[in-house]
Amino acid sequence: MGEVVYLSLGSNLGNRESYLTRATERLSQMVGLKLLAESSLYHSRPLDCPEDCPDFLNKILKLDCSLKPVQLLDNTERLEIEFGRTEKNARANRVIDIDIVLFGDRIFKNERLEIPHPRMAERAFVLIPMYEIDPEIVDPRTKKKFSDMFAAVGDQGVKIVKETNVE
């Protein structure tokens, strides 16, 4: 058994639900990863994007991971490219976006990766599905519960689209 990791998946181009479903399947089939839980599907308005940016569908995956953080990042970036993502820009539209939110209780930072995700506490589309999967989850850096972080930012218009919780 490895460490529990949480990945945030988002898509705002094409058949968003299909991309999220396919990415979930591919991630759960990767060596070193085992799907433990999957949040419901959520609709969110884009944050930090141009005004004409299409809305997102988002979900959170909870996985058992026996990889190192940078190995997981390499795998998620390869998957994004496989799905057709051409640029890793926070303001760009995305067929699929995969972010590592938490990696066990690790606090890690290098030039490519920061864990916990540095903007997770500002994003209801991360906080709400994280709370759905694990109501007691805590940020290892600040020791704050995700429910308290959500109370601070509000729902930001995030709405459930489809219940898909699998445990």
Q: Is the pTM of this model over 0.75?
A: yes
User: What three-state secondary structure class fits 80?
Assistant: helix
Q: Domain-by-domain residue ranges, the chain?
A: 3-162
How far apart CA 44 and CA 58 sit, in angstroms, is 7
What are the tokens at 72? 């997981």
Determine whether 97 is an active site residue.
yes
| CB neighbour list of residue 86: distance below 8 Å, 6 or more residues apart | none
Tokens standing for 51?
Answer: 């005004």
What phi-psi label fits residue 112: left (phi over 0), alpha (psi between -120 and 50 degrees) or beta?
A: alpha
Query: Distance between CA atoms of 79 and 24, rounded to whole angstroms?
Result: 11
Strand partners, 34: 64
The active-site residue out of 55, 64, 85, 141 is: 85
Number of alpha carbons in the 13 Å side-chain half-sphere of residue 103: 22
Told to judge if 55 belongs to the known catalytic residues of this protein, a careful annotator would answer no
48: left (phi over 0), alpha (psi -120 to 50) or beta: left
Has 105 been annotated as catalytic? no
- Which listed residue (97, 123, 134, 139) is catalytic? 97
Tens of pLDDT along the chain (167 residues) come to: 799 999 999 999 999 999 999 999 999 999 999 999 999 999 998 877 667 789 999 999 999 999 999 999 999 999 999 998 776 666 678 899 999 999 999 999 999 999 999 999 999 999 999 999 999 999 999 999 988 998 888 899 899 998 874 44
Which residue of the set 22, 26, 94, 112 is catalytic? Answer: 94
Q: Is 71 helix (H, G, I), strand (E, B) or coil?
A: helix
Q: Which two tokens stand for residue 81?
A: 């490219």
Q: Which fold has domain 3-162?
A: Alpha-Beta Plaits (3.30.70)
- Alpha carbon distances (Å) from 115 to 14, 46, 111, 130, 162: 29, 22, 12, 15, 28
Q: Estimate to the nearest angstrom the gap between the alpha carbon of 119 and the chain centroid.
A: 11
Annotated catalytic residue: which of 99, 123, 134, 139? 99
Q: Is 94 a catalytic residue?
A: yes
